[in-house]
């Protein structure tokens, strides 16, 4: 790679970083590596119906949610959830999920399991102050050989906001 190509990559990276940071919708950069590893382990253990398996073992499903590593969130995420900083949000992130949130996570894990290209769901979360948030989760799902660090998009659906 010559220096012109390296400069072009650097400019492109800065451009996408600015788009991420300045977006008016909540964006999360997450690493799903551990989730993919665990799903493969479950396959090797003979699990064939992941949804039934996780519905029968909610503790395992919640354990898998903790395998999702949040790398970075944008300012819109902090505003949506009422966090003062990214560090505060990541530390208190468990407070935004309701008991029924596990069913959305199970569907997300099943989408990964089945090799879907994307996942989308409408759900309810809580802000850090306890306010109910109705959101749409939309995310591309990487394949095993692709980069497992992806962005999650969270937006408030307009029908419930009116």
Q: Per-residue pLDDT tens for 121-152?
A: 999 999 999 999 999 999 888 876 566 667 67
Q: Which residues are CB-neighbours of 104 under 8 A, at least 6 positions away?
A: 121, 123, 137
Residue 57, domain member (yes or no):
yes
Q: What is the CATH number of the domain that holds 66?
A: 3.30.450.20
What are the φ/ψ torsions at residue 21 (nearest 5 degrees)?
-65, -40
Please report the pLDDT score of residue 162 as a whole number: 44
pTM: 0.84
What's the pLDDT at 14? 80
Query: What's the pLDDT at 19?
Result: 86
Q: How far apart are CA 138 and CA 119, in angstroms?
A: 6
- Amino acid 160: pLDDT: 53
Give the Cα separation of 68 and 161 in Å (integer). 28
78 in a structural domain: yes
Report the domain count for the chain.
1
Q: Residue 48 sits in which domain range?
A: 26-161
pLDDT tens, residue by residue, 68-87: 999 999 999 999 999 999 99
Residue 118, in any domain of the structure: yes
Mean pLDDT rounded to a whole number for the chain: 86
Which residue is associated with the tokens 């690493």?
31
Whether 46 is covered by a domain: the verdict is yes
**Cα–Cα distance measured from residue 147 to residue 103, given in angstroms and rounded to the nearest whole number:** 25
């Amino acid at each position: 790679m010559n220096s012109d190509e390296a400069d072009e990559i650097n400019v492109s990276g800065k451009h996408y970083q600015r788009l991420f940071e300045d977006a008016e919708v909540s964006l999360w950069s997450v690493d799903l590596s551990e989730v993919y590893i665990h799903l493969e382990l479950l396959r090797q253990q003979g699990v064939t119906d992941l949804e039934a398996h996780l519905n029968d073992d909610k503790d395992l499903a919640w354990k898998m949610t903790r395998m999702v590593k949040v790398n970075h969130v944008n300012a819109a995420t902090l505003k949506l959830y009422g966090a003062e900083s990214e560090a505060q949000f990541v530390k208190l992130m468990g407070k935004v999920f309701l008991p029924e949130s596990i069913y959305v996570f199970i569907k997300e894990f099943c989408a990964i399991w089945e090799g879907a290209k994307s996942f989308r769901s409408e759900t309810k979360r809580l802000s850090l102050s306890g306010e109910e948030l109705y959101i749409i989760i939309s995310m591309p799902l990487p394949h095993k050989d692709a980069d497992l660090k992806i962005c999650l998009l969270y937006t408030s659906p307009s029908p419930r906001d009116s």
